[in-house]
């Protein structure tokens, strides 16, 4: 019998390698015995650990990148660095999870007033964050002490006692303040009267215990209509929270304890910061980030992980913070596009080399069908194109290749990578639109998705049209190409139009590839359509090799999509003044932005112009029965289960797939079970007893059977 290509042990290690890339590692990357792997697996996006150095040396840094670009991994490595520093300490705060936790706790409010509820939610959130911060500091002080032996046992115990006392304090009702005064009246229109009123009518008292909060009396005048808070409301809320908690005083206490034992800086990592509601982000910046960051002591420094274009800076002095963008086109400083591609592929290779070396003591080539026609170089290129260098996407593509080749003792071929990219697109990316009909989200949000779907459909239609049109083009750029081999995967638009593509980009339908001046000197942004989406539509990806004339292939006028976008915008988006009803087109929007959204054609009021989406049909959706609509996270849990029918999934694994906390998954699974959409069973998985989730037939037929 022929020897097997991959032994059982190798298969297991290959799987661990792939999972280390594809599953979100919210906590630290560890091996089976709990050993921290980060310093062995870490590969910096830039040579000489340049990103890590900036994170650890600059004061406050915003680390910006789409989901899966490796923000948490960089943070984990930086924490490891601080662990070995005698005078610096760090704490990791998973903002998204804590916010989810504070929403999930039932706040018992004896009042239906939405503003009061929101205030209490934010208060709960801030309390949870501060508690977590202290826990983290205690934990990190312990591990630092193990490494550096900075404290005697007695001293260590006394510091720990101080910190845990503070932690108790913040959760104790009498410290948290029994009567909470909102001493600025919020009138029924939601505007603020800043005069202080101490009458019982304009104040309410809240009794706060750990889990339940009761409002003793509340002002009936506080706006009932608070779908979204006004900026002034948010400022008032922040003010109340600031005074109520005296956060600065509290943080001063923490810093005093730490300074006494010789710590000179505390670095606080705030991960997934932009994934919380925009309102909560503003409150958080106003009450914690900005005051502490601008504080002259400079004791607390922040490292904030965020999605592109979704960051609220508020009062943070922008000169005092730096920003690192992990999207590769922004990261590598290069002279031209070909050099950028070389550097991007270099990162991909370093990333793979390190993981293969650790898990398999081998080179990545071992998994791929490398031969005379298919060089390792050509494999690296296709892996870069299909993943756009996002480690998590790369992990997912390898995961599908594992299932289609490796388990059958076959090596991965290029066509299997193409199939995997297409499968990943259908199962994960396109699903973002597919689920619209099942979501109990706000109608506006659904409309937004619907209009994005139309935009990407238009882009793909244009790329397909170009493919056949350019086949009969006799100009120099196309004449030498095989008639059926003309790539049309990339396009460009004016840089100022980028914002119309933010959502599609955030959700991986397209990726920004490069920016440069076009032939007329106008700044343009070049995008690549998702590789799997291209495959699904028979669109060839990339640009031709060989002749130097192809270096400028993407900026051929044929790939100018400005008119595709403009036609779409004229038909789909308009701006309307909420006061006088005056309408503006997207072309007039830039003018509006420059003059603080002043309704210049009509009532001359500021800030009342809203975006409207236009549709042919009044209701573009085919919603299922109302009672079956689900919150997005619940639908995502069911989707994950339906994608992995044969696997034994439990809360932790699902949480890693969805990049959220296992507590959130557990809590939502119980709700789904009550609706008979999910079953739980006890099972032994890899020697440990687990609560396994299965999707029910009912759920499958409502949500996933076409």
For Zn ion, the closer of residues 213 and 599 by Cβ is: 599
Of positions 24, 582, 629, 658, contacts Zn ion by CB under 5 A: 582
CA 493 – CA 527 distance, rounded (Å): 8
Reading the block at residue 116, the tokens are: 């009061």
Neighbours of 687 (CB within 10 A): 5
Which one of 184-192, 239-247, 384-392, 593-601 is the stretch in contact with Zn ion (CB under 5 A)? 593-601
Task: Give min distance, CB of 582 to Zn ion, in A.
Answer: 5
Which one of 27-35, 227-235, 574-582, 689-697 is the stretch in contact with Zn ion (CB under 5 A)? 574-582
CA distances from 221 to 195, 233, 328, 555 (A): 15, 14, 51, 59
For Zn ion, the closer of residues 320 and 606 by Cβ is: 606
CA 45 – CA 576 distance, rounded (Å): 44
Sign, CA torsion 251/254/259/265: negative
Angle (nearest 5°) at CA 455 between 451 and 456: 120
**Which residue pairs, CB below 8 angstroms and at least 24 apart, start in 189-197?**
189/223, 190/223, 190/225, 190/226, 190/229, 190/230, 190/232, 190/233, 191/230, 191/232, 192/232, 192/233, 192/235, 192/236
Of positions 150, 169, 429, 580, contacts Zn ion by CB under 5 A: 580
CA 143 – CA 491 distance, rounded (Å): 50
CB 304 within 8 A of CB 272: no
For Zn ion, the closer of residues 595 and 697 by Cβ is: 595
For Zn ion, the closer of residues 455 and 577 by Cβ is: 577
Task: Give min distance, CB of 589 to Zn ion, in A.
Answer: 14
Does residue number 633 form part of the binding site for Zn ion (CB under 5 A)? no
Interface with Zn ion (CB under 5 A), residue total 7
Which one of 310-318, 416-424, 477-485, 603-611 is the stretch in contact with Zn ion (CB under 5 A)? 603-611
Which one of 300-308, 346-354, 417-425, 600-608 is the stretch in contact with Zn ion (CB under 5 A)? 600-608
SS (HEC) of 206-262: EEECCCCEEEEECCCCCCCCCCCCCHHHHHHHHHHHHHHHCHHHHHHHHHHHHHHCC
For Zn ion, the closer of residues 527 and 584 by Cβ is: 584
Task: Give min distance, CB of 187 to Zn ion, in A.
Answer: 23
For Zn ion, the closer of residues 518 and 605 by Cβ is: 605
Contact map string, positions 204 to 243, toward Zn ion, x by CB under 5 A: ----------------------------------------
Task: Give min distance, CB of 597 to Zn ion, in A.
Answer: 10
Task: Give min distance, CB of 226 to Zn ion, in A.
Answer: 24
SS3 606: strand
CA 394 – CA 385 distance, rounded (Å): 10
CB 285 within 8 A of CB 313: yes
CA 692 – CA 685 distance, rounded (Å): 9
Which one of 331-339, 341-349, 437-445, 602-610 is the stretch in contact with Zn ion (CB under 5 A)? 602-610
For Zn ion, the closer of residues 189 and 309 by Cβ is: 189
Give φ, ψ of 207 to 5 degrees: -100, 125
CA 383 – CA 417 distance, rounded (Å): 8
Task: Give min distance, CB of 191 to Zn ion, in A.
Answer: 19
Which one of 235-243, 442-450, 569-577, 687-695 is the stretch in contact with Zn ion (CB under 5 A)? 569-577
Which one of 125-133, 174-182, 599-607, 622-630 is the stretch in contact with Zn ion (CB under 5 A)? 599-607
Burial 641-669 (b: 16+ CB within 10 A, else e): beeeeeeebbbebbbbbbbbbbebbbebb
For Zn ion, the closer of residues 161 and 579 by Cβ is: 579
Task: Give min distance, CB of 704 to Zn ion, in A.
Answer: 46
Does residue number 579 form part of the binding site for Zn ion (CB under 5 A)? yes
Task: Give min distance, CB of 593 to Zn ion, in A.
Answer: 16
For Zn ion, the closer of residues 602 and 666 by Cβ is: 602
The crossing angle, in degrees rounded to 10, of helices 247-260 and 114-148 is 0
Of positions 107, 114, 603, 629, contacts Zn ion by CB under 5 A: 603
* Bridge pairing between strands 583-584 and 523-529: unpaired
Neighbours of 443 (CB within 10 A): 9
Task: Give min distance, CB of 610 to Zn ion, in A.
Answer: 11
Neighbours of 254 (CB within 10 A): 19
Task: Give min distance, CB of 583 to Zn ion, in A.
Answer: 10
Task: Give min distance, CB of 247 to Zn ion, in A.
Answer: 40
Reading the block at residue 130, the tokens are: 């501060």
Does residue number 573 form part of the binding site for Zn ion (CB under 5 A)? no
SS (HEC) of 273-303: HHHCCHHHHHHHHHHHHHHHHHCCCCCEEEE
For Zn ion, the closer of residues 599 and 669 by Cβ is: 599
Does residue number 439 form part of the binding site for Zn ion (CB under 5 A)? no
For Zn ion, the closer of residues 412 and 599 by Cβ is: 599
CA 430 – CA 497 distance, rounded (Å): 23
Which one of 56-64, 225-233, 524-532, 597-605 is the stretch in contact with Zn ion (CB under 5 A)? 597-605
Does residue number 577 form part of the binding site for Zn ion (CB under 5 A)? yes
For Zn ion, the closer of residues 57 and 601 by Cβ is: 601
Task: Give min distance, CB of 602 to Zn ion, in A.
Answer: 4
Task: Give min distance, CB of 607 to Zn ion, in A.
Answer: 11
Task: Give min distance, CB of 472 to Zn ion, in A.
Answer: 51
Task: Give min distance, CB of 177 to Zn ion, in A.
Answer: 43
Which one of 29-37, 96-104, 435-443, 595-603 is the stretch in contact with Zn ion (CB under 5 A)? 595-603
Give φ, ψ of 61 to 5 degrees: -125, 135
Which one of 95-103, 365-373, 530-538, 582-590 is the stretch in contact with Zn ion (CB under 5 A)? 582-590
Task: Give min distance, CB of 598 to Zn ion, in A.
Answer: 9
Burial class (CB in 10 A: 0-12, 13-18, 19+), 19: middle
Of positions 129, 206, 218, 599, contacts Zn ion by CB under 5 A: 599
Which one of 28-36, 342-350, 468-476, 591-599 is the stretch in contact with Zn ion (CB under 5 A)? 591-599
Of positions 314, 602, 620, 623, contacts Zn ion by CB under 5 A: 602
Interface residues with Zn ion (CB under 5 A) are: 577, 579-580, 582, 599, 602-603
């Amino acid at each position: 019998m022929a020897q097997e290509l991959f032994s059982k042990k190798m298969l297991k290690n290959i799987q661990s390698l792939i999972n280390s890339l594809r599953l979100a590692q919210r906590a630290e990357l560890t091996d089976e015995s709990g050993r921290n792997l980060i310093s062995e697996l870490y590969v910096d996006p830039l040579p000489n650990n340049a990103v890590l150095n900036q994170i650890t040396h600059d004061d406050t840094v915003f680390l910006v990148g789409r989901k899966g670009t490796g923000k948490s991994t960089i943070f984990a490595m930086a924490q490891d660095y601080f662990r070995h520093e005698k005078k610096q300490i760090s704490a990791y705060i998973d903002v998204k999870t804590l916010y989810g936790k504070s929403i999930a706790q039932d706040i018992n409010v004896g009042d239906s007033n939405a503003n009061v509820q929101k205030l209490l939610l934010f208060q709960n959130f801030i309390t949870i964050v501060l508690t977590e911060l202290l826990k983290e500091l205690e934990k990190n002080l312990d591990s630092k002490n193990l490494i550096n032996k900075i404290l005697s046992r007695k001293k260590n115990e006394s510091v720990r006692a101080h910190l845990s006392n503070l932690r108790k304090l913040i959760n104790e009702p009498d410290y948290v303040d029994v009567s909470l005064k909102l001493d600025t009246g919020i009138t029924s229109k939601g505007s603020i009267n800043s005069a202080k009123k101490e009458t019982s009518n304009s104040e309410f008292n809240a009794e706060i215990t750990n889990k339940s909060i009761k409002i003793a009396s509340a002002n009936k005048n506080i706006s009932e209509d608070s779908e979204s808070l006004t900026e002034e409301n948010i400022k008032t809320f922040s003010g109340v929270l600031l005074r109520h908690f005296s956060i600065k005083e509290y943080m001063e206490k923490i810093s005093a304890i730490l300074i006494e034992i010789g710590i000179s800086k505390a670095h606080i990592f705030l991960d997934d910061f932009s994934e919380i509601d925009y309102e909560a982000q503003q409150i958080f910046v106003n009450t914690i980030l900005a005051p502490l960051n601008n504080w002259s002591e400079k004791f607390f420094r922040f490292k904030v992980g965020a999605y592109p274009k979704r960051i609220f800076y508020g009062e943070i002095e922008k000169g005092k913070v730096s920003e690192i963008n992990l999207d590769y086109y922004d990261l590598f400083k290069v002279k031209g596009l070909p050099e950028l591609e070389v550097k991007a592929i270099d990162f991909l290779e370093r990333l793979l080399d390190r993981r293969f070396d650790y898990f398999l003591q081998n080179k990545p080539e071992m998994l791929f069908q490398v031969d005379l026609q298919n060089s390792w170089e050509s494999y690296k290129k296709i892996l870069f194109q299909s993943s756009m260098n996002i480690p998590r996407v790369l992990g997912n593509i390898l995961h599908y290749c594992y299932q289609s080749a490796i388990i059958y003792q076959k090596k991965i071929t290029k066509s299997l990578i193409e199939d995997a990219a297409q499968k990943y697109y259908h199962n994960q990316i396109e699903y973002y639109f597919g689920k619209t009909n099942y979501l109990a989200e706000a109608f506006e949000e659904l409309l937004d998705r619907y209009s994005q779907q139309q935009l990407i459909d238009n882009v793909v239609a244009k790329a397909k049209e170009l493919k056949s049109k350019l086949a009969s083009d006799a100009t120099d750029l196309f004449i030498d190409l095989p008639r059926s081999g003309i790539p049309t995967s990339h396009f460009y638009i004016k840089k100022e139009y980028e914002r119309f593509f933010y959502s599609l980009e955030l959700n991986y339908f397209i990726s920004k590839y490069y920016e440069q001046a076009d032939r007329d000197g106008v700044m343009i942004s070049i995008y690549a359509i998702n590789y799997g989406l291209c495959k699904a539509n028979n669109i060839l990806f990339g640009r031709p090799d060989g002749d130097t004339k192809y270096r400028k292939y993407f900026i051929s006028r044929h790939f100018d999509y400005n008119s595709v976008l403009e036609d779409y915008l004229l038909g789909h988006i308009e701006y309307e003044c909420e006061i006088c009803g005056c309408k503006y087109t997207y072309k007039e929007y830039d003018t509006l932005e420059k003059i603080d959204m002043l309704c210049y054609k009509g009532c001359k009021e500021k800030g009342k112009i809203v975006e409207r989406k236009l549709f042919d049909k009044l209701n573009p959706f085919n919603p299922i029965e109302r009672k079956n609509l689900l919150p997005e996270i619940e639908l995502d849990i069911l989707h994950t289960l339906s994608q992995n029918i044969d696997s034994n999934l439990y809360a932790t694994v699902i949480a890693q797939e969805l990049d959220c906390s296992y507590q959130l998954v557990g809590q939502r699974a119980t709700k789904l079970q009550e609706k008979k959409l999910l079953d739980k069973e006890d099972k032994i998985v890899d020697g440990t007893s687990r609560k396994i989730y299965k999707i029910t037939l009912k759920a499958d037929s409502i949500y996933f059977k076409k």
